[in-house]
Structure 1
Amino acid sequence: MIALLTRRFVGLLLTLAVVSLLIFAVMDFLPGDSASIMLGTSASPETLAALRHDLGLDRPLLLRYGQWLAGVFAGDLGQSYTYGVPVTGLILERLAVTLPLALMAIVLSVAVAIPLGALAAARRGGVIDVIASIFSEIGIAVPAFWVALLLIVLFSTTLGLMPAGGFPGWGAGIWPAVKALLMPAVALALPQAGVLTRVTRSAVLETLHEDFTRTALAKGLSARKVLWRHSVPNALVPIFTVLGLQFTFLVAGAVLVENVFNLPGLGRLAYQALSQRDIVVMQDVVLFFAGLVIVMNFLVDLSYLAIDPRLRKGI
């Protein structure tokens, strides 16, 4: 077990190192640089050269990469050219919006998809199965930003029950903050719930044909107990795989929904940094997203060992 964890952890660090180098190189090779963006096209060559020197843009690529990577490990992600504040504080401030939003969306997705997918598998060909199939198709086909616009029209413009956008901050109280995140969470959860419903149905349907399921039924257990005590727990490996991918997507891929609802989240920060050509913020945010994906995949791999004892054999 220790050897396996060590190998996985070393692989995680190597992957992060390679990804960080690729991110830094891609950002460096983009046309133009931060100095020319900050000074504009009318700046003199001498002023441009002086600013590039102050920003360290005239240093060799590997030297700048090493300094940036050392700062990342030290918790110093540099200074934003646009906002003039440390990037670490910016990311933490925006993460206080994006992380609760992603967690709310995952909870909503799991609360709907796993029961619906399991019941659809248990009643294959029935009414619930048809409802689950329709829900899954709609969830996969409809983009999250379009759902967001529909929710705004219905609950904000027409009924006046929910705020159309903005975020009051957690200092304004838990309920106002949660209320501001509720519609964005629903908009993000619907597509993910559609995918998760289909995966859950397929995984549970496969376990219903296993020998242990038939044995449990032969011993006199009810179909309901067999479903929730035996079939669903044994179908958790593919479900957890999808959940890990969905969580990273919700954190990194909520750019459109955050812009629709005017939420000051991490996705909106990435969009603003891209439009303002703030290289430092861009590469730090992209590295955070990439690191989140790698770490989540690592945690999902470890969860397999806890979920399925068969995977621990031979370790």
Structure 2
Amino acid sequence: MSAVRFIGLRFARMVLVFVATTMLVFSLSLLIPGDIAVTLAGDNADPATVALIRAELGLDRPWLVQYLSWFGQLLTGDLGTSFVYRTPVAELIATRFPATFSIAMFAVLIAVLSGVLLGMVAAAHRGGPLDRVTTVLSTLGIVAPSFWIGMILILLLAFAIPIFPAVGYTSFADDPVDWLGHITLPAVTLSLAVGAELQRYTRSSVSEVLSQDYIRTARSQGLSRRRVLWTRALKNAAQPIVTIIGLNIAGMLGGSVVVEKVFNIPGLGSLAINSIFSKDLPVLQGIVLVTTVIVIVVNFLTDILYTVLNPKVRVS
């Protein structure tokens, strides 16, 4: 299969997944208990007032008509208007997205660097003390709850040794140094579980590659152990590592909800929680949709990257 056809098929699949996602996201209205019109009108409102609010919000129309109208607005970039804030959802998300995105991407960077490096070290010293130490560290990183890790980091690095701010957020545009200080502890907290998983997959994949005949041939040709490890073994073991990175970007965005609460970060997580309690359906739909679209795009890019690492993937 040619590269162009492969990319075209993956793109078509991405579009289909996007359409299916919009249907699921819009169906959130069926899962939220109660009537948003009653919530906005107040418990003591008369039925006429409630009916008027339902008509203003378009909730009196059939579900399919509501969905098609919403989907048409969506294609123009209009995510609707918040029931509670009376503000366009796109503006609300735009103000909160930078905090969540900064933490998630910094967490991905930390997880990739630490996970791949420790995994390479463990594979190069398989069965030795370094391998056992990194295995213990990865186990702790996987089993420890993120909120517990966050609180420990606050106690150690914000109070006992005041290196980083304990809570809050500063935008990059206002103060880049302060921005970095505020996102470091949340990003480290968010990265530990993913970094630990990456360490295990890197160790397993690289160890398997190191046992192959062509690696022994490279060593017999005079290539140093370090060069064989980083230029031959890592390249051939990269595909499962890329898979884990792509899959866990979604986990980073979802896991930021807990981290944002611990560090009092005004991101998408706190906005989503507030929208659930206030039954602000357009905001909740917008957040879920934006997050899902990011995951779909990341998976698409991961598929494209597969063709670079292993052209045989195009056959599937």
User: Same fold judged by TM-score > 0.5?
Assistant: yes
**Any gaps of 5 or more consecutive residues in structure 1?**
none
**Distance in 2 of aligned mates of 1:7 and 1:307:** 19
Q: Which whole-Å deviations, capped at 9, do the CAs of 1:190-226 have from their partners, x for residues lacking one? A: 1111111001101111111122212111211121111
Q: Which amino acid aligns with 1:145?
A: F
Show the 5 A alignment for 1:72-151: 72-151=74-153
Q: What secondary structure does 2:241 align onto?
A: helix
Q: What secondary structure does 1:161 align onto?
A: coil
CA contact (8 A) 2:190 2:255 kept: no
**Distance in 2 of aligned mates of 1:200 and 1:171:** 36
Q: How many Å apart are 1:158 and its aligned residue?
A: 2.1
CA contact (8 A) 1:24 1:283 kept: yes
Q: What secondary structure does 2:27 align onto?
A: helix
Q: Which whole-Å deviations, capped at 9, do the CAs of 1:158-210 have from their partners, x for residues lacking one? A: 22332111113334310011111111011111111111100110111111112
Q: Which whole-Å deviations, capped at 9, do the CAs of 1:6-53 have from their partners, x for residues lacking one? A: 111111111111121122123234321321121222111110000000
Q: Which amino acid aligns with 1:197?
A: Q
Q: Within the alignment, does 1:283 sit opposite 2:299 as a pair?
A: no
Out of 284, 292, 300, the position equivalent to 1:298 is 300
**Any gaps of 5 or more consecutive residues in structure 2?**
none
Out of 31, 46, 49, the position equivalent to 1:47 is 49
**Distance in 2 of aligned mates of 1:193 and 1:49:** 52
CA contact (8 A) 1:252 1:266 kept: no
Tell me what 2:67 maps to.
Answer: 65
Show the 5 A alignment for 1:22-33: 22-33=24-35
Show the 5 A alignment for 1:229-244: 229-244=231-246
Q: How many Å apart are 1:258 and its aligned residue?
A: 0.3
CA contact (8 A) 2:28 2:285 kept: no
CA contact (8 A) 2:124 2:207 kept: yes
**Distance in 2 of aligned mates of 1:68 and 1:128:** 55
Tell me what 2:230 maps to.
Answer: 228
- Identical columns (%): 38
Q: Which amino acid aligns with 2:230?
A: W
Residues 1:62 and 1:32: Cα distance change in structure 2 (over 3 Å): same
**Distance in 2 of aligned mates of 1:245 and 1:265:** 21
Residues 1:29 and 1:184: Cα distance change in structure 2 (over 3 Å): closer
Tell me what 2:212 maps to.
Answer: 210
Tell me what 2:171 maps to.
Answer: 169
**Distance in 1 of aligned mates of 2:32 and 2:87:** 23
TM-score (norm 2): 0.95
**Distance in 1 of aligned mates of 2:32 and 2:106:** 36
**Distance in 1 of aligned mates of 2:290 and 2:173:** 26
**Distance in 1 of aligned mates of 2:182 and 2:29:** 34
What do you get for the CA RMSD once the two structures are aligned?
Answer: 1.4
TM-score (norm 1): 0.96
Q: Within the alignment, does 1:270 sit opposite 2:272 as a pair?
A: yes
Give the ranges of 4+ consecutive aligned residues of structure 1 lying more than 3 Å apart after TM superposition.
Answer: 309-312
Q: Which whole-Å deviations, capped at 9, do the CAs of 1:65-122 have from their partners, x for residues lacking one? A: 0111111110010111122211111112211111111111111111211111011111
**Distance in 2 of aligned mates of 1:170 and 1:297:** 28
Q: Which whole-Å deviations, capped at 9, do the CAs of 1:144-164 have from their partners, x for residues lacking one? A: 111111111112222233211
**Distance in 2 of aligned mates of 1:54 and 1:300:** 43
**Distance in 2 of aligned mates of 1:281 and 1:163:** 29
Tell me what 1:15 maps to.
Answer: 17
